[in-house]
Structure 1
Amino acid sequence: MAHGPHGARGRRGRPDPAVASLRSAVRGACADLPGGALVLVACSGGPDSLALAATAAWLAPRCGWRAGAVVVDHALQAGSAHAAERAGAACSRLGLDPVEVVRAPAAPDPAAPARAGGPEAAARAVRYAALEEAAQRLGAAAVLLGHTRDDQAEQVLLGLARGSGARSLAGMPARRGPHRRPLLGLPRAVVARAGDALGLQPWSDPANADPHPLRNRVRARVLPVLEAELGPGVAAALARTAEQLREDADVLDALAADLLARARVPGHERPDDVVVLDVAVLAAAAPALRRRALRAALLAAGSPASDLHRDHVLPLDALVTAWRGQGPLHLPGRVSASRACGRLALRRPGAQGRAPEHDTS
């Protein structure tokens, strides 16, 4: 049975079940958008993002919003420009408008210090920055990302391998800022079946076959072994775990933010690069909340989230609960931490004001 990209009819003229699942998911994810809103699909030309692009193109005129696409060319391999143009042309044929192909900035100097997370994290940061810039410039209300339930399961496994906390194990959120992930509840196999039913011809990224990136090994080797040994449904269970942990982490983060607000010492803050906290307020809190609040304080002082780990938070926590005159601490982002006179100060070079005298109590 042949289909155009917008047909895909099953029995009795009904849409193919996989196609119907995608349409329902995208429609639900965009239900709050006002009429005439522009929705951009982040499309690489691969199976997931191309199926998402086709679904958005079909839904847009029926739901009263407009659909466009952004293709980011990372220029990390030969032929990437051609692949990006091919993806852009496929989006245009689907009826998406506008369609932009954006070339990512040049890769960092190989001699520069390695970014936490390696090349994958660096490419991801560049990609999201490019998508956000395009969304702002074009006035888009939302950017749709093609991550599936399998991607979520892989994310949870990677977090477990790193020994991460609940926030990292909560995986990718369905929404964050302008970004929305409508396919996060759907298996990758369903998305692939929808693409087949729609007659799409996705691009197969050769980088996905590279065994060196950890995520590729998790996808090709680890998850299949878990499914074989533990039975089917492992990916779904990991995704459910992420959803439950996200609910818990949201509550804990809100409580930690309240603790941090109560611990801030009025009149001592400097613009973006100094945080001064009351040690007594922090010490009275439960350890889990206090450490979350301290991590948030480090972020506010300038520590990059990608470089900040539990090994950094625990010594900072010890300045609060196990004070023996130690310090100062030197933390990611050139942030230093010191305790004096019942105050915990986080600062970076260039911060104004005099550091508190060393606490001898």
Structure 2
Amino acid sequence: MDRQGSVATVRRAVDEFALAHYAAERQWCVALSGGADSLALAAVAAHVRPTVALIVDHGLQAGSDAVATVARDQAMGVGCVAAHVIRVDVGGHGGPEAAARAARYAALDEARDGAPVLIAHTLDDQAETVLLGLGRGSGARSIAGMLPYDPPWGRPLLGVRRSVTHGVCEELGLTPWQDPHNADPRFTRVRLRTEVLPLLEGVLGGGVAEALARTATSLREDTDTLDELAADALLTVRAGEGVDSRLDVAHLSAMPAALRRRVIRRWLLDGGGSGLTDVQIRGVDRLVVDWRGRGGVAVGSSLRHQRLFADRAGDALTLRTERV
């Protein structure tokens, strides 16, 4: 494989990621759409470890089966040891983008056969994620962006610009698929990519995407530290387990606000919470610091056919469920 230019840049990123996180792995998978980012990752990863390409066909566009077939052939052509097309049915929960993402990750998780899965998110994707988090006011965790290493998912290209992955395809003579959704202004990320980021680059004199990615890294380090402290603190204020657990309000109220809310978040997740928002967590926090007899707070639930509520009973926070 050519070790110059863009190929060399991606190879260094994959080598460093493998050494840091997958030194003991003998094989890995790559989530392959056929686009430039994932095609470049598959081509390079296949020369680092035995690589299985996993191609998810969402069936949302005419000719998606043909696109998947081409991606499978390209995967084998760049040296993957196997390539599998996985067809999924995309539901409608949470909107088309969220539903497709949920279906994709579920399919990849089922097909990976215990191996880690590399995903070709780039620095540009990370910058867009940070901007989305900023715009939605969804808290530091969202602004911290995507995790580079979140088993079974690995993202070795979060420090690599999208222009580099396109350069890999050019250097290796690969023709990536051009997803029409990536040019459709109905999608928020497309407008961020084509309108907002170029405007910021012009106004601020360049380097905005890199600065946003650095912000994500810095916030993630802070958030990870606070989460570790919160996990320890939770042990001192919780009685019981799961949905039957309780939190001692007196000890909670003495904690710094940032730590207290992370304790509450971890408690809610352990009790069956899911998809928690900053608004929900702050609502539960008010049961501690500004109760005034207010009622319970509904939070996202992973419990089958049950809604989940955080409530206050005297000097404790409690959880309760309702059938739906």
The TM-score normalised by the length of structure 1 is: 0.84
Q: How does 1:39-188 map to 2 (within 5 A)?
A: 39-60=28-49, 66-104=50-88, 106-108=89-91, 114-115=93-94, 118-135=95-112, 137=113, 139-140=114-115, 142-188=116-162
Residue in structure 2 matching 1:25, options 4, 10, 13: 13
Q: Aligned residue for 2:195?
A: 221
Tell me, in whole angstroms, the C-alpha distance in 2 between the residues paired with 1:38 and 1:255: 35
SS at match of 2:86: strand
- Alignment pair present for 1:247 and 2:224: no
Residue in structure 1 matching 2:322, options 329, 335, 349: 349
Tell me, in whole angstroms, the C-alpha distance in 2 between the residues paired with 1:37 and 1:214: 38
SS at match of 1:349: strand
Identify if the C-alpha distance between structure 1 residues 148 and 330 changes in structure 2 by more than 3 Å, giving closer, same or farther: closer
Residue in structure 2 matching 1:37, options 26, 44, 48: 26
Identify if the C-alpha distance between structure 1 residues 274 and 80 changes in structure 2 by more than 3 Å, giving closer, same or farther: farther
The TM-score normalised by the length of structure 2 is: 0.93
Residue in structure 2 matching 1:314, options 279, 282, 295: 282
Tell me, in whole angstroms, the C-alpha distance in 1 between the residues paired with 2:208 and 2:314: 52
Tell me, in whole angstroms, the C-alpha distance in 2 between the residues paired with 1:33 and 1:236: 26
For the pair shown, the structure with the greater C-alpha radius of gyration is: 1
SS at match of 1:262: helix
Identify if the C-alpha distance between structure 1 residues 228 and 34 changes in structure 2 by more than 3 Å, giving closer, same or farther: closer
How many residues are aligned here? 317
Tell me, in whole angstroms, the C-alpha distance in 1 between the residues paired with 2:12 and 2:296: 54
Structure 1, residues 65-120: CA drift from partner, whole Å, max 9, x if none?
x111100111111111111111111101112122111011x222x5xxx42xx321
Tell me, in whole angstroms, the C-alpha distance in 1 between the residues paired with 2:298 and 2:168: 51
Tell me, in whole angstroms, the C-alpha distance in 2 between the residues paired with 1:292 and 1:192: 40
- Alignment pair present for 1:278 and 2:248: yes
Percent of aligned pairs sharing the same letter: 49
Quick check: 1:301–1:348 contact (8 Å CA) kept in 2? no
Identify if the C-alpha distance between structure 1 residues 157 and 34 changes in structure 2 by more than 3 Å, giving closer, same or farther: closer
Identify if the C-alpha distance between structure 1 residues 312 and 257 changes in structure 2 by more than 3 Å, giving closer, same or farther: same
What one-letter code is carried by the residue in structure 2 that aligns with 1:70?
Answer: L
Shift of the alpha carbon at 1:210?
1.0
Quick check: 2:90–2:103 contact (8 Å CA) kept in 1? no
When the two chains are superposed, the root-mean-square deviation of aligned CA atoms in Å is: 1.6
Quick check: 2:231–2:263 contact (8 Å CA) kept in 1? yes
Quick check: 1:279–1:342 contact (8 Å CA) kept in 2? yes
Identify if the C-alpha distance between structure 1 residues 348 and 36 changes in structure 2 by more than 3 Å, giving closer, same or farther: closer
